[in-house]
Chains A and B, each alone.
Chain A
Amino acid sequence: MKRFMGRRKGIGTVLGAGYFMIIVLAVFNLIMWEITQYDAYRQLVDQMNQVDQERISENLEFVYPVITDRKDLGSGKYSFNLTVRNTGGITINSARLYFYNCSSNALKIIENGVAGVDYFTNGFINPGESNHKICVVTTLDMRKVPVDGSRPFIIYLATERGRTFSTVYPITVPKWGGNPGFIDIGPLRFKFDYYSLNYTTPSKTVPSPAWIISPYSSGTAIMFFVTVINTACDEDIRLKRYCVFDCIEMAQSGASGKIASFYIVDKDSTWPGGSTMFPYDEANDPYILPRNPDPDNPQGGIPNIIKFGAMSWATAQVQCLYTGGGGYAQYEYLILMGFYYVYQGYDYGATIPFVAIRTNTPS
C-alpha cells in the first residue's frame, strides 16, 4: 500500500480501469435486466399462445335432432336437453346459450347456472363425448317449433374460451349422402334445404317455405326468396336486372304452356305490395354476392337471399302465379331460374334447373 501510494505512475490507469469496470457492470446489468424482461414477455406470449391453441382446439357439433326430452315444468317454464358432441381435443365449458327466433327476431339469452328462469346445467363437455346433454330450463316452449310453419331458431353456444358454435333448429338439411344439398353452377351455389326457398304474399308477410304454397288463390301477388352463395374466393359477383325466376305451369295432361316470370327486386323488399316491394336498381344498389372469405374452406361462403317478385325487370309491378279459374286449385310448377351476373368484369348467364313447387296441395 505504501509502495502503491508512493508511486507516481499508474493512478490514471487505475482510475480509468475503475470507470471502465463500472460502465461494463452497468451495461451488464442492463443486458441482464433486458433478458429478464424479454424472458417474462416470452413466457406471457407462450401462455397466451397456449390459450389460443386451446381455443382453436375446441370443436363441437350439435347432434340431430338437437333438442330432446322436452317437458312442461309449469308456471310458464319448460325444460329440454340440448344434445351435443365434443369433437375437439379439449374440454369445453359452455358459458352462454343464445336462442334466436328467426320469425319474431327475438333473442333469448340463457346463462350457465343452477336456478332461476333461463339457465342451463351440465355445460362441461369432455373430449369424445358424443351424446352430451345440456339441460336447459327456460320460458321458451320449444315444443311448438315450428307448428305454425314459421322459420326456425338459430341456437348459438358460446364457450368460456370465446368460441361460438351454432345450429338451426329444427335441422332440415337432408340426411342423405352424396350431395349435401346444393346446386353448383359456375361460382354460384344454390342451397337446397327446407328453409332455402321461401315466399311471401300480401296476406303472408313473413317468409315461409315455398315447397307447397297453401292457401293460394288466383291473382294473388307473390314474391320468392332464394338462397345463393358465391363460392369464388377471388371476386364478388354482381347480379344483373334480368335475373328471373320462371314458374312453368304443369297439369296432369302436360305443360299448360303458361309461364309466370318473376324478375329480381330490391333487397329491401319484404312482400309484394306498393310500399314493400321495390324495383331492382342495378346501377346504384345491386345485389353483390360477397366472395368466399375463407379460401381454405371451399364449402364456406356467405349465404345471400335473392328476391324475385316483379312482372318485368327493374320494376315493382307485382306478379302472380297462373292458377286459372277461381278457388284454391292444385297446380304444379317447375322452376327454372335465369341468372345473369357479372364476375371478374365479364357478363355471364346460367339456367338453373331449380325446384318443383305446388299450390294448395295437402302435405
Chain B
Amino acid sequence: MKKNRRTITRFIGSRRAISTLLANVLVVTMVVALGTTLFIWTTGVMGIYQGGAGVWFSTRSEVMKERLAIEEVWFTNVVGADHKNITIYVRNVGANEIKIAAVYVNSTQVQTTTRTVGVGQVERISLTLTTPWSRGSVTYISVATLRGNVVKGYWQAPI
C-alpha cells in the first residue's frame, strides 16, 4: 500500500513521459473507435449485400426451376354460339409448383385469378373473351406465371 502511494506520488511529481502516455492512450482510443466503427460499417454493408445476394440467388433459382408447356388450345363455342370461349391445357414440367398469374389472348389480358399447378400436373383454364375469335384466325396466346416466366405461341381457330 505504501509502495503504491509512493509510485503515484512519483508519477504525479514526474515532469516527463506524460505526453507519451497520453499519446498512447489517445492512439489506442482512436484505433478502438475507428476499428469498431469500421467493423460495424463493414458488417452492415456485408449484411445488406449478403441479404440482397441471397434474395437474388433464391429468386433466380425459383424462376429457373419453372417450366410450363401449353399442351392444347381448344376454341370452343364453335357451332351456334358466340365464339368467345377458349380452353387451354397447361402442364407444369418444371421442378417447382407454378402459380399462373395471367393469360393473354392477342396481347389482351383475359384471366387474372391466380391458379396453382403442381409439378407434373395439367391445369385446364377456360377463358371467356370480350370479343369473339373469328374462324381461321391465328391467335397469339401467352401464359404468365407469378415469378415472371412467360410461355407463348400461336394457335389457329377452326375454320
Q: What is the interface of chain A, defined by CB distance below 8 A to chain B?
A: 8-9, 11-12, 15-16, 18-19, 22-23, 26-27, 30, 33-34, 37-38, 40-41, 44-45, 48, 51-52, 55, 95-96, 98, 100, 102, 104-105, 107, 109, 156, 158, 160-164, 198, 207, 225, 267-268, 270, 290, 293, 302-305
* Pairwise interchain contact A12-B28, C-beta atoms closer than 8 A: yes
The smallest C-beta distance from A96 to any residue of chain B, in angstroms, reads: 7
- Give chain B residues whose Cβ lies under 8 Å from the Cβ of A16: 31, 35
- Give chain A residues whose Cβ lies under 8 Å from the Cβ of B137: 267
Q: What is the interface of chain B, defined by CB distance below 8 A to chain A?
A: 20-21, 24, 27-28, 30-32, 35-36, 38-39, 42-43, 46, 49-50, 53-54, 57, 60-61, 64-65, 67-69, 71-72, 74-76, 78-79, 87, 89, 91, 93-95, 120, 122, 134-138, 154, 156, 158-159
Q: Please classify the interface of chain A as helix (H, G, I), strand (E, B), loop, or mixed, using the class held by over half of its residues.
A: mixed
A33→B159 CA distance, assembly (Å): 59
Nearest 6 pairs between A and B by C-beta?
A162-B69, A19-B35, A162-B93, A305-B136, A105-B78, A12-B27
Q: Which of A8, A41, A163 contacts B69 (CB 8 A)?
A: A163
* Pairwise interchain contact A44-B65, C-beta atoms closer than 8 A: yes
The smallest C-beta distance from B148 to any residue of chain A, in angstroms, reads: 15
Given contacts A19-B38, A51-B94, A105-B79, 17 further A-B contacts (CB under 8 A): A8-B20, A12-B28, A19-B31, A23-B38, A23-B42, A30-B46, A30-B50, A44-B61, A48-B64, A95-B91, A98-B72, A158-B69, A160-B120, A162-B68, A164-B71, A198-B159, A207-B159
Q: How many A-B residue pairs have CB under 8 A?
A: 124
- Give chain B residues whose Cβ lies under 8 Å from the Cβ of A305: 135-136, 159
Query: With A11-B28, A16-B35, A225-B159 in contact, is A26–B135 under 8 Å at CB?
Result: no
- Give chain B residues whose Cβ lies under 8 Å from the Cβ of A105: 75-76, 78-79, 158
The smallest C-beta distance from B32 to any residue of chain A, in angstroms, reads: 6
Q: Which of A22, A48, A100 contacts B67 (CB 8 A)?
A: A48
* Pairwise interchain contact B93-A160, C-beta atoms closer than 8 A: yes
A305→B136 CA distance, assembly (Å): 6
Q: A268: nearest residue on chain B (CB-CB)?
A: B134
The smallest C-beta distance from B118 to any residue of chain A, in angstroms, reads: 14
Q: B61: nearest residue on chain A (CB-CB)?
A: A44
